[in-house]
Amino acid sequence: MRELFNEIKSLYDQVRSKRGRNVERDIFVAQIFEKSTALLGNFEILSLVSRVPQKSYFCFRGVVEGRQKLSRAINSDLYFPNLVIWQNFVEGLKSGELDEGGKENFLKVIYTVAISFCAVNDIFADRDQKTPGTFFEHFISYLIRLRLQVDPVQSIQVLDYDGLDVSLPTDLIFNLGAAKPKFHVPVKTSTRERAIMLWAHQKLLDGVYGIEKFVGMPVLLTETKTEARTYQVTEICLPDQWLVYQLYISKLKRVYYLDMPDAYKRLAYAVPPINVKPFIEFFFEWEEVYSH
């Protein structure tokens, strides 16, 4: 099993590499999906105690080098290791003819690619919290690029009045061309009490290049937290604080989730609104997000 894990890690290194051509990335991501879910198939499934209404969660329990390891919580309704649907989704993205009727299943396979890689890493390299986050960012970047057909950048120039130009590292920025808005896409596996960073990064771009030049649109995996002793899963959501950030720091046009917390749905009806949606919606509404 360690060997299969090493194969997955090596595919991950390929996805991370900027040199890969797009057709190769398609193969690497599909293989990560296939191998990660196959590897997880060897492990026991442990039901977790869900404290989230209408959602149920489980985790994988593996024994690695004599020690028991648990994966992170996985949403039972979203875990769907179906490679055929994954291939359909990717083909639809590339052809621009994504079937709207397939939304629900597409969201499930996107979630499953992300969470299965994270779960494998939890079990085989549990001290390494960086790899899941890095993989998730490259994975979401790969999907958005398939749709928008542009490569993202991860820095902007800041013009200094004293003539010292500074390059500022940023989250993913997809630029659709001159005189068009640009997507600013922070990608995180969760935000919890760090969500204010999303608004603060948007504020920087607004400050440097002007308001509405960049469309703020974070993509997040989930907000679950598992209590180690009781196996209870909760979602850490702070909707009232998000509204204060949207009022006093900057404006995020969308917040997308793979495992969408219900607690954020009502923010679409607040003043000012925050549109928090399942990530699959982006692929159908991106022109609207960008032009309205």
Q: Which residues bind a second copy (CB under 8 A)?
A: 158, 162, 166, 168-169, 194, 196-197, 199-201, 203-204, 207-208, 240-241, 243-245, 247-249, 271
Q: Which amino acid, one-letter code, is at 218?
A: P
- Residue 155, beta-bridge partner list: 169
- Provide the H-helix boundaries in the chain: 2-16, 22-40, 83-95, 103-124, 130-148, 196-209, 239-248, 282-291
The residue (of 47 and 155) whose beta carbon lies closer to a second copy is 155
Residue 243 CB, shortest distance to a second copy, in Å, is 8
Nearest to 186 by CA among 221, 162, 211: 221
Shortest Cβ 200–a second copy spacing (Å) = 4
Separation CA 42–CA 60 (nearest Å): 9
Tokens in use for 262?
């219900």
Parallel, antiparallel, or unpaired for β 153-158 and 166-175? antiparallel
Between 200 and 268, CB nearer to a second copy: 200
- 127: helix, strand or coil: coil
Judged by CB, which is closer to a second copy: 42, or 129? 129
Nearer of residues 49 and 166 to a second copy, judged by Cβ = 166
Residue 265 Cβ, how far from a second copy at the closest point, in Å? 19
Question: How many Å is the maximal CA-CA distance in the chain?
Answer: 61
Closer to a second copy at the Cβ: 230 or 241? 241
Nearer to a second copy, 19 or 67 (CB): 67
SS3 percent helix, strand, coil of the chain, rounded to 5, is 50, 20, 30
Which amino acid, residue 236?
Answer: I
Q: CB of residue 187 vs a second copy: minimum separation in angstroms?
A: 14
Q: How far is the CB of 123 from a second copy (least distance, A)?
A: 16
Q: How far is the CB of 270 from a second copy (least distance, A)?
A: 10
Give dist(CA 78, CA 58) in Å, integer: 11
Structure tokens at 277: 């949606």
Q: Give me 177's structure tokens.
A: 């061309």
